[in-house]
A and B are shown apart, each in its own frame.
Chain A
């Protein structure tokens, strides 16, 4: 696995053989190893185990070490409410409750849950030297909101100097945290600032851009890459985000990927996103996930695009959906099948009357097209070879799903994958090409 190299190519806007895949596994890692969110985020051992499981199952090119935007806030005195299925929530805001900014100390690496995160990062670094490790820091605006509460919005209007002071402090916290993560072995620093979706571009330029720019400069000076994550309705800020000069911006399903692509590439910045988290990855099935992945991959292209969900994966995201996305990343044939299958819902199954012939074995092979798809070609050859021993007692037909009749036959036979071989209407061999002896045996069974 050379995920880091692939991601570096994407960051430099060079063409990639496939779009790098970065599943944002946060507390979902807890699900993979059977522990709750709190037990997961408080233990480096659990994080290492969860991420290792995710690496094994989802074959990512890059992965975040920890996805928790409350780590810095907790150290700075925000109280947290822990839950079993989510990252913790900030429930108090020290600067709104009488604490003075001058009383807040810049954190050090032994504070709070930093040791858990940094140990996980350094061990994962050793375990996966070629995987791109993302170190996440809370974006300065979101951290300022944690510290000030929603007072920040009124203060932007009534007391901008105060907001700037807090933002300056949060920037220093961010730079310090980024430095720790880089020292622990992270390759990419993601500045995760979802709450910037709540402000307009002018406010962004006034309050956020100077801070974010300093963090990206710091990361660049360390010869590492940076990404600017935002989620929610932040389309208005994409340009100003790019102007902060990160190496990458990452967005969720609320912003059109083609829009981000156009803006980011015109400014020489790579971009990532935006698999639908709730309706597809969490609530949809494998086929929905395949279609969604192909849609994103086709829109994103192979230059400067990183495939990722828009935000932290919900804990209960079915593993099978993420495995389905993984399959789309690595398998061009599977992608082609999904593109062809998109037509299927408007088509009716074929009428099978007269399809079966008494005393004969009917073998239907559903392929993408055996003349252009290697696995389909091998499947067809194997079946034809095995059938040749039986003469006219066996009828072999190829149905190419590039044509409508092929898709209609696929629907009639209830076939989900390509290539698939059905013997007398029964799905017998899926995707893998069986040895000749197995096909012969299956034909003999059908004849007897």
Chain B
């Protein structure tokens, strides 16, 4: 029987921002809507007590041994454990609470591994921001900058404690990622039905979790630090337009500037991003088949003569 790939929801955010509250809220809202499994950093300081989760429902948890300091170099062994976990638990969806220092794009990248390809795709990234602490120091803002950039939904949390700061934080966050949905919350209570909206697949509010209408998808993360000309970028997009359902991310354009690229099938927009630097990071959702290596196709289309 053909197996559908499983959506992976990622929750990022600075320590103490409310990731755990959001996770509990998410689980509560998903009761009776398919089997949700949880991926957690075993030694995270904000690790939810297993018993607390079990009170909310019978959840299976995959613990990752990456310690408090999380580095991309340590992701290799995660591939095997996640593949085995999926085979064992057969969840309908996965939610992953990333440690404050992890790089969500690198996490998405490992879903390209043969063991995980066509099994799981990166469906939605929530980033939780502590409204009270965000404006307090540039050190903190810099730390979560990258997580904010890749988020689909940014939750400005603890707004009850930071009435004055909230609007300032909203403005700051919007400057960093003008394309994410930004919502205010207390105790991370937000409408999670919006999670499929970023895919542009389902009408807003319709919850198709665990239903047969769920598309068979994979997510591919493309990374490169090299500059790309707009023309070659368009050439690449043209090549994948039939299989590409949604594409989103930052692209380093010739001259060192960045654009934010997003689109559905072959309908794309590329908006310049002022003051933004860094490598190209694209998340593409679609159905590309086992034999296709999108990173290679990207490099060939964008860099080879």
Q: Which A residues fall within an 8 A CB radius of B?
A: 80-81, 83-91, 93, 142, 145-146, 149-150, 153-154, 156-157, 194-195, 198-200, 202-203, 231-233, 235-236, 252-259, 274, 276-280, 282-284, 288, 291, 295, 299, 311-317, 342-343, 345-346
Please tell me which one of the listed residues A85, A91, A291 contacts residue B76 in the complex, with CB atoms under 8 A apart: A85
> Nearest residue in B to A309 (C-beta to C-beta)?
B73
**Given A150-B15, A203-B139: A253 touches B225 (CB 8 Å cut-off):** yes
Contact of B100 with A199 in the complex, beta carbons under 8 Å: no
User: What are some 6 contacts across the A-B interface (CB < 8 A)?
Assistant: A89-B66, A203-B138, A254-B279, A311-B71, A314-B75, A316-B76
**B269 interface residue (CB < 8 Å to A):** no
Contact of B225 with A312 in the complex, beta carbons under 8 Å: no
Contact of A81 with B67 in the complex, beta carbons under 8 Å: yes
**B162 interface residue (CB < 8 Å to A):** no
**B216 interface residue (CB < 8 Å to A):** no
Please tell me which one of the listed residues A194, A256, A295, A317 contacts residue B279 in the complex, with CB atoms under 8 A apart: A256
Contact of B143 with A199 in the complex, beta carbons under 8 Å: yes
Q: How long is the Cα–Cα vector from A195 to B146 in the complex, in angstroms?
A: 14
Contact of B277 with A235 in the complex, beta carbons under 8 Å: yes
Besides A195-B101, A316-B77, 5 more A-B contacts (Cβ < 8 Å) are A89-B66, A256-B225, A256-B252, A256-B279, A258-B226
**How far, in Å, is B250 (CB) from chain A's closest CB?**
11
**How far, in Å, is B165 (CB) from chain A's closest CB?**
15
A-facing residues in B62-108 (Cβ within 8 Å) = 65-69, 71-77, 80, 100-101, 103, 106
Contact of B66 with A279 in the complex, beta carbons under 8 Å: no
**How far, in Å, is B199 (CB) from chain A's closest CB?**
23
> Nearest residue in A to B137 (C-beta to C-beta)?
A157
**How far, in Å, is B278 (CB) from chain A's closest CB?**
6
A-facing residues in B216-232 (Cβ within 8 Å) = 221, 223-227
Contact of A198 with B277 in the complex, beta carbons under 8 Å: no
**How far, in Å, is A27 (CB) from chain B's closest CB?**
9
Please tell me which one of the listed residues A91, A142, A231, A255 contacts residue B225 in the complex, with CB atoms under 8 A apart: A255
Shortest beta-carbon contacts, A-B, top 8: A89-B67, A314-B76, A85-B77, A256-B225, A157-B137, A342-B304, A91-B43, A200-B142
- Which of B152-160, B180-188, B293-301 is near enough to bind chain A? B293-301
Contact of A86 with B279 in the complex, beta carbons under 8 Å: no
**B45 interface residue (CB < 8 Å to A):** yes
Contact of A200 with B139 in the complex, beta carbons under 8 Å: yes
**Given A81-B42, A345-B297: A202 touches B112 (CB 8 Å cut-off):** no
Total residue contacts A-B, CB cutoff 8 A = 164
**B163 interface residue (CB < 8 Å to A):** no
**How far, in Å, is B32 (CB) from chain A's closest CB?**
35
> Nearest residue in B to A232 (C-beta to C-beta)?
B103
Contact of B143 with A198 in the complex, beta carbons under 8 Å: yes
**B305 interface residue (CB < 8 Å to A):** yes
Q: Which B residues fall within an 8 A CB radius of A?
A: 15, 42-43, 45, 65-69, 71-77, 80, 100-101, 103, 106, 109-110, 112-114, 133, 136-140, 142-143, 145-146, 221, 223-227, 252, 256, 277-279, 293, 295-297, 299-300, 303-305
**How far, in Å, is A184 (CB) from chain B's closest CB?**
24
Contact of A311 with B101 in the complex, beta carbons under 8 Å: no
> Nearest residue in A to B304 (C-beta to C-beta)?
A342
Q: How long is the Cα–Cα vector from A345 to B226 in the complex, in angstroms?
A: 20
**Given A91-B67, A236-B277, A255-B225: A282 touches B142 (CB 8 Å cut-off):** no
Q: How long is the Cα–Cα vector from A88 to B226 in the complex, in angstroms?
A: 33
Contact of A84 with B77 in the complex, beta carbons under 8 Å: yes
Contact of B69 with A89 in the complex, beta carbons under 8 Å: yes
Contact of A142 with B223 in the complex, beta carbons under 8 Å: no
Contact of B225 with A274 in the complex, beta carbons under 8 Å: yes
Contact of B225 with A342 in the complex, beta carbons under 8 Å: no
Residues in chain A near residue B110, CB distance under 8 A: 278, 283
Residues in chain A near residue B303, CB distance under 8 A: 295, 342
Contact of A89 with B68 in the complex, beta carbons under 8 Å: yes
**Given A315-B76, A342-B305: A153 touches B140 (CB 8 Å cut-off):** yes
Please tell me which one of the listed residues B68, B72, B77, B252 contacts residue A91 in the complex, with CB atoms under 8 A apart: B68
**How far, in Å, is B284 (CB) from chain A's closest CB?**
13
Residues in chain A near residue B112, CB distance under 8 A: 279, 283
Q: How long is the Cα–Cα vector from A93 to B43 in the complex, in angstroms?
A: 11
> Nearest residue in A to B143 (C-beta to C-beta)?
A198
**How far, in Å, is B60 (CB) from chain A's closest CB?**
20
Residues in chain B near residue A86, CB distance under 8 A: 65-66, 74, 76-77
Contact of A142 with B69 in the complex, beta carbons under 8 Å: yes
Contact of A345 with B304 in the complex, beta carbons under 8 Å: yes
Q: How long is the Cα–Cα vector from A233 to B252 in the complex, in angstroms?
A: 14
Q: How long is the Cα–Cα vector from A84 to B65 in the complex, in angstroms?
A: 10
Q: How long is the Cα–Cα vector from A85 to B80 in the complex, in angstroms?
A: 10
**Given A342-B305, A345-B304: A199 touches B76 (CB 8 Å cut-off):** no
Contact of B106 with A278 in the complex, beta carbons under 8 Å: yes
**How far, in Å, is B16 (CB) from chain A's closest CB?**
9
**How far, in Å, is B127 (CB) from chain A's closest CB?**
15
Residues in chain A near residue B297, CB distance under 8 A: 345
**How far, in Å, is A240 (CB) from chain B's closest CB?**
13
Residues in chain B near residue A200, CB distance under 8 A: 138-139, 142
Q: How long is the Cα–Cα vector from A343 to B41 in the complex, in angstroms?
A: 43
> Nearest residue in B to A314 (C-beta to C-beta)?
B76
Residues in chain B near residue A203, CB distance under 8 A: 138-139, 142
Contact of A233 with B77 in the complex, beta carbons under 8 Å: no
> Nearest residue in B to A88 (C-beta to C-beta)?
B67
> Nearest residue in A to B42 (C-beta to C-beta)?
A81
Contact of B139 with A153 in the complex, beta carbons under 8 Å: yes
Contact of B142 with A83 in the complex, beta carbons under 8 Å: no
Q: How long is the Cα–Cα vector from A277 to B278 in the complex, in angstroms?
A: 17
> Nearest residue in B to A282 (C-beta to C-beta)?
B76
